[in-house]
């Protein structure tokens, strides 16, 4: 079993190419260029147009985190598939982060995925929630294919047993 067919795709969470052309692997790997974050002030700014998911904004592989009051389900799930951390916060917290961002270059925030914390430029900390399985996948850089490949031995064993039990198939 091997991973094939998407060698040139750069939006995969396990292998991405930054704007500078540098290849990266995994969500929190050493040597990776720090991801940027995006914040949306309006409620569910990423909601898809009625009846058509292809009109919804696609998660960008150049962004490591998106912070907004809410997300459309398809966008939220696609973020994880692309190695992007979507953080839903109350509108008041998003407004505070947006106000911090307007301070200019010195207004840096840091996102600690393991501690589930956003640290603002003033030292304030905002906690956020994330599904533990998705958190583990982001930290380890696992996508759907790499999760399947982790079961490679079990799959091979099943196939061998299945061929023995059902040789006509």
In a domain, 6, yes or no: no
The DSSP call for residue 150 is T
The pLDDT value recorded for residue 62 is 52
Q: Which residue has the higher pLDDT, 119 or 62?
A: 119
Express each pLDDT in 107-160 by its tens digit: 888 999 999 999 988 888 999 999 999 999 999 999 999 999 999 999 999 999
CB 97 within 8 A of CB 110: no
| Total-model pTM | 0.61
In a domain, 159, yes or no: no
The confidence band for 15, taking pLDDT boundaries of 50, 70 and 90, is very low
CA nearest neighbour of 1 among 149, 164, 159: 149
Q: Which residue has the higher pLDDT, 55 or 98?
A: 98
In a domain, 164, yes or no: no
In a domain, 161, yes or no: no
In this model, does residue 162 exceed pLDDT 60?
yes
Rg (C-alpha) for the chain, rounded Å, is: 19
Q: What number of other Cβ atoms are within 10 A of residue 95's Cβ?
A: 14
In a domain, 111, yes or no: yes
In this model, does residue 84 exceed pLDDT 90?
yes
In a domain, 147, yes or no: no
In a domain, 118, yes or no: yes
Domain count, the chain: 1
In a domain, 163, yes or no: no
The full DSSP string for 21-57 is S-EE-SSS-TTPPPPEEEE--STTTTPPBTTBGGGSP
Domain range for 98: 11-142
The pLDDT value recorded for residue 8 is 39
The pLDDT value recorded for residue 48 is 32
């Amino acid at each position: 079993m091997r991973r094939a067919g998407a060698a040139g795709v750069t939006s995969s969470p396990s292998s991405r190419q930054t704007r500078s052309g540098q290849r990266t692997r995994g969500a929190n790997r050493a040597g990776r260029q720090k991801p940027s974050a995006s914040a949306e002030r309006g409620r569910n700014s990423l909601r898809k147009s009625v009846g058509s998911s292809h009109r919804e904004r696609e998660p960008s592989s150049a962004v490591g985190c998106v912070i907004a009051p809410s997300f459309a389900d398809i966008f939220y799930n696609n973020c994880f598939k692309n190695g992007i951390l979507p953080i839903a916060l109350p509108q008041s917290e998003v407004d505070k982060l947006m106000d911090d961002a307007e301070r200019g270059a010195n207004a840096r925030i840091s996102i600690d995925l393991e501690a589930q914390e956003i640290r603002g430029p003033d030292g304030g900390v905002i906690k956020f929630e994330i599904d533990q399985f998705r958190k583990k996948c982001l930290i380890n850089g696992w996508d759907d294919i790499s999760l399947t490949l982790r079961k490679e031995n079990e799959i091979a064993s099943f196939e061998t047993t299945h061929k023995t039990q059902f040789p006509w198939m």
